[in-house]
Amino acid sequence: MSQNTVTILCALIGSGAATAFVTFLLNRGAEKRRKETGESQGMRWLLQDRLEHLARHYLEDGSIDYEELKNWNKGHYIYHDLLGGNGDLNNLKSALEKLYQKGEIDK
């Protein structure tokens, strides 16, 4: 085996080991972030319940103003993106946005 072949093989093995190590570190960090505490589960459940309650109120009332929609969307962002909600509220979000748009058209 020539010197160049050995060098190339060592580089390939070394880069594979380095890639595996970096992947391990990244996955380990992601696993820590995925672990949930009882507090985060409880906060997500409470926020989901509150957002569902508010959405039912607005839909039954037949109107939602800009500030109400803005605040609801902020809660949805916290629930969905920051607390890892599963998307159960996405249909309500769409319904509220349509309700707001309908109110704007009716003005």
pLDDT tens by residue, the chain, 107 residues: 667 665 654 555 655 555 665 566 666 655 555 567 888 889 999 999 999 999 999 999 999 999 999 999 999 999 999 998 888 899 999 999 999 998 878 76
Asked whether residue 41 falls in the same domain as residue 81, the answer is: yes
Whether residue 29 is found in the same domain as residue 55: no
Q: Are residues 73 and 63 in the same domain?
A: yes
Domain count, the chain: 2
C-alpha to C-alpha distances, 55 to 12, 39, 40, 65, nearest whole angstrom? 56, 24, 22, 12
**In terms of residue numbers, what domain contains 105?**
37-107
Q: Is the dihedral of CA 19, 25, 30, 31 positive or negative?
A: positive
My answer on whether 77 and 95 are in the same domain is: yes
Helix-helix angle 66-77:38-61, to 10 degrees: 160
**Do 97 and 77 belong together in one domain?**
yes
Residue 91 and residue 45: Cα distance in Å, rounded? 17
94 and 68, same domain (yes or no):
yes
